[in-house]
Chains A and B, each alone.
Chain A
């Protein structure tokens, strides 16, 4: 319990030193007059704890106008006031910034009293923010100045703060001595705000030194007087202290009454520090009374103020109570987190203030207890972690299933795409196969017409027509197949060539040679692949010759079926010379065939090839060599 109180008090007492404006008498300048009006306003608002905004506004104005009028004395005072306004709101960095500016001003104008006063304020900030060594150094400097000046009115602030600082470093008797020294410097009638402040301070220091009864007695006096003169700062401060004493005495209901009264000041002025402790005591009392959920609410509020106050010691205290409250409420995860946070801050504070004596067995004991609690909580947490793990396993299973589904959808759609590409390939192949030249068809039909008109005998006419029908049928039928047997292919080609022979009166020879190893009834070939080239050979190679000859040779070479189409026509060069029309048609047939070969290669990986060459050295005749993979039924 002692530790509890000791920690509480350490932060409570910080004395501020109010600047006194000298109100220098300037020549009757308009801006000086305005400036003075602002200074008057400052003096009105200075003691009003609840008018920080107005005070800051006027202080700002004075800073501006004194800068313009080079009134450095008032300027440093205004800076100092600004520092005070921020200090009252626990905005320590900003407060320190203004006090430092004021300190520089004092040094430049050799104002030692002003400097000493500002040093008190800076020291108090260092105390609040736990920079204890710096605070001690500053306060000692300030004390030296004031003792030499024998300025008792200011000296009491210094003594108070030094006392408080002694308490912080664990020197309780020095702490009490300093605060008593300060309290004795004012009269014991508690009839001024300063006296009330010092009374508060002394009351706190008494309890730190175990003199709880004296402390309580003094506190009650301070409370009564503060209420009488309506001094909210001392009222709330002493109520907080009384609440802490009540808790020490296990009078929790009473503690609640005190804190409730402090809560009623909430919103009337901004002093995070006060409300931090108020809610902390309230929460702690509620917890002891078993009103757990209310305790949690209060402590969470206290934590909010602790965050605003930015002083780690206050936060540490709140966290210490809060984790217990969470645990009592069964919120183990939150309790665990809060406890961890508490340990973290607590360790940091111990580390920072390493010059503090840490031989307090009780502290050690408390720490051990905390650690044990931490372990227990860790166990509880592990249980819930296990539960979470179990849930996580389910989530993972679902994720894996989802991923697998997505993957399979991807593969299925890819498969579909490949299939579509394959189909497109097939379609293109099919379209290339249906390449029976319309000229051939219509000219053949004209030949039939001619027979009918009586140019030839009827028997030949009928045979010609049915042969033409056979060619058409073969083309239509075989074009649906991917491969046909060689005998079917040859039959269709022979019918085709037969029709072509009849179209041209000069006639030509067409013969087929076959490797003995090949059985035409079983060998498979792509249908009509040679037809466009045979047509080329007939219509552009040998058409106007009397002894035209086309020969077709099938040979088995390893795993390949090699087809050679040879003609004794005019040759490729001559065909090209004969005119662009002829060349265009020739190359069309060649291109179609090459494209078909290319597509077949894409399907069956480079096993098809086609080559063109002259048959004879003089450039006449053409040989086309096809190579396709040998396949049999």
Chain B
């Protein structure tokens, strides 16, 4: 892949070059940029198919850069110094992000995923991310081995843990979507949007609750979905409803 490194610190840029040289030699570094305006110019001239993007730079954020690029025919891997609010938007769009100092294994895995999705992405996940960053939080991006799904959060009926994977039951979709991220991740992302973890392997969308069977400890959801409630979570659920 042909990559562009965008970061406002020389040390970081150099470190990333070094990491790629050692662990992902097939990734070709086309160049570097140290701020948003430089980055815009380099992307247009160099046409990278992968960018490593710093979230916060001196003259703006990585999101500012992406907003100025209507046509985004490249993969994005974010790099950031620490976890903060911007990361939530990235997680919602199922984009990869790396924490500095970057772990080589994470870097390689992110590059592998970028390769997988290279021909499939349509720019929608980035839209979702930018909307989240500006406060519109009605959609989420899910990725499985073959597809990228952009879903309305309100259409998700419930999520079910399946080992380290999560199965999404979505309105009007017969087949659930299996995502290689654990339920804990989605609990964190979706609880502010009206979801509740009612069982160690179930996260439900409260707006889809039809009936609670207190005797059999079951929640009946839209489309005849039934989900068990754990005894400990019952009171909490009733309180939230």
Contacts and interface: CB of A to CB of B under 8 A. Distances in A.
A446 B59 contact: no
B100 A543 contact: no
Contact of B58 (A443, A502, A543): A543
Interface stretch (B8-16, B39-47, B186-194): B8-16
Interface in A425-448: 438-439, 441-443, 445-448
A455 B18 CA distance: 8
Interface string B59-96: 11100000000000000000001100000000000000
Nearest to A578: B59
A557 B11 CA distance: 42
A505 interface: yes
The majority secondary structure among interface residues of chain B is mixed
B219 to A, nearest CB: 40
B11 A503 contact: yes
Given A443-B9, A446-B9, A455-B15, A438 B60 contact: no
A224 B11 CA distance: 138
A214 interface: no
B15 A446 contact: yes
B22 interface: yes
Contacts of A447: 9, 11-12, 15
B108 interface: no
Given A450-B11, A450-B18, A503-B11, A443 B81 contact: yes
A258 to B, nearest CB: 85
A567 B82 CA distance: 28
Contacts of A27: none
Best-buried of A446, A447, A539 by chain B (most CB within 10 Å): A446
Contacts of B14: 450, 453, 455
B109 interface: no
B60 A581 contact: yes
B99 interface: yes
Given A446-B9, A453-B15, A454-B18, A581 B101 contact: no
Contacts of B60: 579, 581
B56 interface: yes
A446 B10 contact: no
Contact of B10 (A505, A544, A581): A505
Best-buried of B10, B60, B102 by chain A (most CB within 10 Å): B10
Nearest to A502: B11
A544 to B, nearest CB: 6
B209 interface: no
A441 B81 CA distance: 8
B19 interface: yes
A103 B22 CA distance: 132
A453 B101 contact: no
Contacts of B12: 443, 446-447, 450
Nearest to A505: B10
A504 B11 CA distance: 8
Contact of A581 (B11, B18, B56, B82): B56
A449 B101 contact: yes
A449 B81 contact: no
Given A453-B18, A505-B10, A544 B58 contact: yes
Interface in A479-524: 502-505
Contacts of B101: 442, 445-446, 448-449
Contacts of B99: 442
B93 to A, nearest CB: 20
A571 to B, nearest CB: 15
Contacts of A445: 100-101
Contacts, number: 65
Interface residues of B, number: 20
Counting chain A residues whose Cβ lies within 8 A of the other chain, the interface size class is 20 to 34
A579 B59 contact: yes
A442 B10 contact: no
A438 B81 contact: yes
B59 A439 contact: no
A439 B56 CA distance: 10
Contacts of A446: 9, 11-12, 15, 81, 100-102
Interface string B15-30: 1001100100000000
Interface string A359-379: 000000000000000000000
A443 B11 CA distance: 8
Contacts of A581: 56, 60-61
Nearest to B18: A453
A439 B11 contact: no
Contacts of B56: 439, 581
B9 A503 contact: yes
A346 B30 CA distance: 126
A474 B42 CA distance: 41
A543 B14 CA distance: 18
A438 B82 CA distance: 7
Nearest to A438: B82
Nearest to A447: B11
Contacts of B100: 442-443, 445-446
Best-buried of B22, B56, B81 by chain A (most CB within 10 Å): B81
Nearest to B79: A446
A83 B15 CA distance: 121
Contacts of B9: 443, 446-447, 503-504
A453 B22 contact: yes
A583 to B, nearest CB: 13
Contacts of B82: 438-439, 442
Contacts of A505: 10
Best-buried of B10, B11, B14 by chain A (most CB within 10 Å): B11
Best-buried of B12, B14, B18 by chain A (most CB within 10 Å): B14
Contacts of A448: 101
A318 B11 CA distance: 115
Nearest to B86: A581
A462 to B, nearest CB: 16
B193 to A, nearest CB: 25
A454 B14 CA distance: 9
B106 to A, nearest CB: 13
Contacts of B102: 446, 449
B163 to A, nearest CB: 32
Given A438-B82, A442-B82, A446-B9, A453 B59 contact: no
A8 B9 CA distance: 123
Nearest to B81: A442
Nearest to B21: A453
Given A442-B101, A503-B9, A450 B61 contact: no
A164 B102 CA distance: 126
Nearest to B59: A578
Nearest to A454: B18
Nearest to B54: A443
A464 to B, nearest CB: 10
A382 to B, nearest CB: 72
A360 to B, nearest CB: 92
Contacts of A450: 11-12, 14-15, 18
Nearest to B22: A453
Contacts of A442: 81-82, 99-101
6 contacts: A439-B82, A442-B101, A450-B14, A450-B15, A502-B11, A503-B11
Interface of B: 9-12, 14-15, 18-19, 22, 56, 58-61, 81-82, 99-102
Given A439-B82, A442-B101, A445-B100, 19 more contacts: A438-B81, A438-B82, A439-B56, A439-B81, A441-B81, A443-B12, A446-B9, A446-B15, A446-B81, A447-B9, A448-B101, A450-B12, A450-B15, A450-B18, A453-B19, A455-B14, A455-B18, A581-B56, A581-B61
Closest 9 CB pairs of A and B: A453-B18, A450-B15, A447-B11, A442-B81, A438-B82, A449-B101, A455-B14, A446-B101, A446-B100
